[in-house]
Amino acid sequence: MQFPQARILIFAKAPEPGKVKTRLIPALGVEGATRVYRHLLERTLARCAAANLCPLELWVSPDLDQPLWQEYVREYAVSLHRQPGQDLGARMGSALKAALGRASQAVIIGTDIPGFSADHLAQTLAWLDQGLDAVLGPVEDGGYWLLGLRHYAGEVFADIPWSTDRVLELSRRRLAALGWRWRELEPLWDLDRLEDLRRWALEDEFQYRLAAEVGQHQHQDPAQGPGDRRATPPAELETPPEQGAEHQPGSDGKNGLVGEVLGEHILQEHQPAPQGKRQ
């Protein structure tokens, strides 16, 4: 274990049908959306456990009573904690404050980032170990999927309009106002919408299987080759920093199987969920 004095906090909620990945329900149905969420959660746990960088903590909501949580404790060697607080900022802040009471560094991550890897976590912990105050993992939609800290400060989490494209920009301002030094990982993308699901279909074998079982495929537009993975450009920010550059205080900073499931296919359409179950 390379960073035994650090902690990685994995934030998750119970994969209850109809309460996770709700924006995918019209395309995948309740069951399909739940399967996507659980797959991403378990893949996150597996990658963190396999990396063996530091002790892992699974922070869950709404409670600790799900039998699934105990399965994860056994399978992935995580400690289990309940997310306290009302909004996302309060829950994240409370979890990081608690973790920093028993560790020299703490990194909190979400579970809906298909492209994250152990290298991102190792780089984050290395930067914190070298003395940086914080590390951000930006998301293309203007938020962040990872936050690493050496110190707790409530200002980082207060009065942030969570789930908007201003989260990253405002968080950068808070770090700068604190006089902290921080770096940022490469921007990644999260899986929330049908367009993200199509993008994932080009990159992840699970999505091929899911699409084969619960939906239909069509051949992708010939104008876009199977290797074309260009993303929608991230939202413009006031002073986008250079990736990896250190920021100093004051700096700017269901039916049947398809015969062929290949990269030339993308998810096209799924049976919609019954009206009463749409979120």
Q: What are 197-244's pLDDT values in tens digits?
A: 888 887 766 655 665 555 543 334 434 333 332 333 333 323 344 566
CA 185 – CA 135 distance, rounded (Å)? 8
DSSP 95: H
For residue 118, what are the domain limits? Answer: 1-279
- Count of the separate structural domains present in the chain: 1
269: three-class secondary structure by DSSP: strand
Indicate the pairing of strand 105-109 with strand 6-13. parallel
Mean pLDDT, range 83-93, rounded to an integer:
92
Give the containing element (helix H, strand E) for 81.
strand 78-82
Residues 6+ away with beta carbon under 8 Å from 46: 76
- What CATH number has the domain bearing residue 108? 3.90.550.10
Strands of the sheet with 134-138, listed across from one edge: 78-82, 56-61, 6-13, 105-109, 144-149, 134-138, 182-184
Task: Give the closest residue to 60 by CA, choosing from 46, 44, 78, 81.
Answer: 81
Q: Residue range 53-64: average pLDDT? A: 96
pLDDT tens column, 117-172: 999 999 999 999 999 999 999 999 999 999 999 999 999 999 999 989 999 999 99
Query: Which tens digit of pLDDT belongs to each residue from 253-275?
Result: 322 211 222 222 233 333 333 44
Q: Residues 236-253: pLDDT tens digits?
A: 323 344 566 676 654 433
